[in-house]
Amino acid sequence: QVRLTESGGGSVQSGGYLRLSCKVSGATYHSNCLGWFRQAPGKEREAVAVIYTGADTTYYGAAAKGRFTISQDGAKTTVYLQMDSLEPDDSAMYYCASGYLGPKQDKLLWQLYTDWGRGTQVTVTV
């Protein structure tokens, strides 16, 4: 099992920024993709950004493109999500997730991820 611990959430004004971190430990050999997903009350869970850890290839959900950046540290033990130009619609619980996905699988499909952190809350105020 891969253990994931998120941090860095909080409350920020519209137009501000936050940097989320996800510490990864445990059976990391079971994983080749790490991603950030979010869910707001009453809404479906959606993909924010994913990184294929072997090659640093990144994938972004529609809401994140151009504003958010996913990255990992050199030791591949921490994944970051830099969020700029935040908007009130970005308010949600943000989860870090881990999975082992094949080359043809949709990396942004949250149902394919097997291990999840507890989440960190992001609130963007007007």
From first to last of its 126 residues, the chain has per-residue pLDDT tens of: 999 999 999 999 999 999 999 999 988 888 899 999 999 999 999 999 999 988 889 999 998 878 999 999 988 899 999 999 999 999 999 999 999 999 999 999 999 999 999 999 999 999
Helices vs. strands in the chain: H and E counts, helices first: 0, 11
Q: Helices (DSSP H) in the chain: which residue ranges?
A: none
Contact 28, 95 (CB under 8 A): no
Question: Which pLDDT value is given to residue 55?
Answer: 84
Residue 16 sits at φ, ψ, to 5 deg, of -85, -170
**How crowded is residue 83: how many other Cβ atoms within 10 Å of its Cβ?**
24
Query: What is the pLDDT, as a whole number, of residue 56?
Result: 86
Q: What is the model's pLDDT at position 28?
A: 83
